[in-house]
Amino acid sequence: MSNNNFNYEDLLRCIPPQDIPQPIRESDGAGGTDLGPRDIIRAIENTNMLVPPVTDAGTVPNLTFSFSDTNMTLKPGGWSREITARELPVATTLAGVNMRLTPGGVRELHWHKEVEWSYMLAGRARITAVDENGKNFIADVGPGDIWYFPPGIPHSIQGLEEGCEFLLVFDNGNFSDLDTFTISDWFAHTPKEVLSANFGLPEEAFRDIPKTEKYIYQSTVPGPISEVEPLSPFGTRKFSHSLLGQKPITSPGGSVRVVDSRNFPVSQLISAALVEILPGAMRELHWHPNNDEFQYFLTGQGRMTDYAADGTARTFDVRSGNVGYMPFCYGHYIQNTGTTPLWYLEIFKSPIYQDVSLTQWMALTPPQIVKTNLNVGNEVISSLRKTKWEVVRFPGFEYKEK
């Protein structure tokens, strides 16, 4: 039984009445008080859904979900939780798994039909893999590192001295990390006489094999790679990359680091960007012309509005630990509404990262078309940049709570 005692009523008593938000918009007086029953904590977390901007309109599916609202799978050696199309139905192309391994904890030897793309959040891990040609790979990874395992490539993950936590992304929205091919499960469902024939050993050698899948289990912290690495006669193959170690693309509002098949060649089906948005800045108005966007928010808080065409738009609040999902070609932005940098990942089921900047599009279109289309003058035209700024910040134009 858990000893994490939490009393909702005690927490509510700590909130001053004037700080309890009401669904009333100051700009036009629309709305009215909520007499309850209500979840006040959720209202505080989602102020832009409680009081949407006047520009929100129409019906848009839910585009955010928190890992804190998911079910934990607890095992000796760590835990996992996932956000798939079951939790977030709009997320049809990609699914996410958040996993923690203790020092020495192992995500057992396994493989799956889907691509596995991962970003290290904390601690250090050892990853291993062997490809179809017998080339092996062993590496120790830390915060900001990524790895990519193609479909069918067997691999494992183990926490090192301080343990580790990471995000896994798979190229199938209906994926479940509990539905993978694992070595313990295969052994448990293979007759011992077959194992004996396969390995050329007596059946007695397999008397203690697991009766069920291990999934995650506790082991000891491994020694240095140089002491434990089996040398393959066929060579090695690289499956990891230092995303945080890349030189960023910087602009006045923050930075972006892009990784795809051009600078991480093994990553043939997944591309991504690590985005930093400084306080008062925003990820510019843009869209992606090649696929849906799976987002994972690492630090900070913000808001985003998605424009879904045909007079439809909706605003969401986002914060660390949230997953966001932006369907193909939806126009959107993300604005830092906090006092610390907002970091998040943009992930796509595509070999090449692509985005289209609204500002750049307008700047490279004949001015007369832009003027007559939007009923704007030279002030707007002269402000347009032909060079893309992924993150923008202008003095005097910062987010202010309404």
Active site residues: 346
CB atoms within 10 A of CB 26: 9
| DSSP character string of 303-330 | EEEEEEETTEEEEEEEETTEEEEE-TT-
Contact present, 102 and 175 (Cβ < 8 Å): no
Q: If we measure between CA atoms, which residue out of 137, 149, 8, 117 comes closest to residue 353?
A: 117
CA-wise closest residue to 342 among 394, 302, 303, 296: 302
φ/ψ bin of 183: left (φ > 0), alpha (ψ from -120 to 50), beta (otherwise): alpha
Read off the DSSP letter of residue 362: H
Which SS3 state, helix, strand or coil, does residue 12 take?
Answer: helix
Is the Cβ–Cβ distance between 110 and 154 less than 8 Å?
Answer: yes
What is the CB-side half-sphere exposure of residue 285 using CA atoms within 13 A? 8
Q: Are 281 and 250 in contact (CB under 8 A)?
A: no
CA dist 82 and 86 (Å) reads 10
186 sits in which H/E element: helix 183-188
Q: Which residues contact 85 (CB under 8 A, 6 or more apart)?
A: 91, 92, 95, 173, 174
Measured between alpha carbons, how far is residue 152 from residues 251, 277, 283 in Å? 40, 36, 36
- Which of 290, 236, 231, 259 lies closest to 148, judged by CA? 259
Place of tokens 């969401």: 316
- CA dist., res. 125 & res. 159, Å (int): 5
Residue-wise DSSP of 148-169: EE-TT--EEEEEEEEEEEEEEE
